Amino acid sequence: MKGYVQVYTGNGKGKTTAALGLALRAAGAGLKVYIAQFVKGMKYNEHDVLARLSDFITLKQYGRNCFIRRVPQEGDILAAQQGLKEVRDVMCSGEYQVIILDEANIATYYNLFSVEDLLDFIRAKPEGVELVITGRMADPRIIDEADLVTEMKEVKHYYQNGVNARDGIEK
C-alpha cells in the first residue's frame, strides 16, 4: 500500500480528533500506528483508551506541559527536536504503517523545530507509511509537500460564550 502525507490544519476544532479517528480505523484494519504529540505534555482522556490498544497504537508525548501561554523554554525546544529525531527513526524502522505528528505545525510556528526539519522528515517517509501532521498554522511549504490537506474552519464555538473545555469532549 502506498502511503501519503495528510495535513489537518486551521483554526477550527477537530484536527487531533480526526487524526485519532484515523488511528482507530487503521488499528481496526490491523495496521500499527505511532502517535507523537508535540507541545503537549499533559494527560488527556484519550490516553487511557489508547493504552488499551497498545498492541496496535503507541502514543508518546514530546512536550513539557503546554507552553502556549508562555514563551517556549530551552527544555521545550530540546524535547521537540529530540522527539522529531526519535520519531523519524521509528518511522523508518518498518514497524509502523501510520505515523501521526500531532501539533507538529504548531511546533514549527513556535520554532521548536524548523519547517525545513519537518520537510526533511516528510521526505524521509518510506513509501508504505501514511504520515499525518496536525496543528494550526501549517506553513505553506508543508501544505505544498502534502498529498491531502484539510482545513478545519471555526464557524461557531460555545467557548465564545464562556464554556470551558469539558471532560471527555474537549479534553
Q: What is the pLDDT of residue 66?
A: 65
d(CA 122, CA 131): 8
Q: What is the pTM of this model?
A: 0.92
Q: What is the pLDDT of residue 123?
A: 98
Q: What is the pLDDT of residue 41?
A: 60
- Torsion angle, alpha carbons of 101, 102, 105, 107, to 10: -90
Q: Which grid cell is 12?
A: 477550527
Could you tell me the domains of the chain? 5-129 (3.40.50.300)
3-state helix, strand, coil in the chain (%, to 5): 40, 20, 45
**1 pLDDT tier (thresholds 50, 70, 90):** confident
* pLDDT for residue 9 is more than 80: yes
Question: How much is the mean pLDDT over the chain?
Answer: 92
Q: What angle do CA 160, 68, 125 make, to 5 degrees?
A: 110
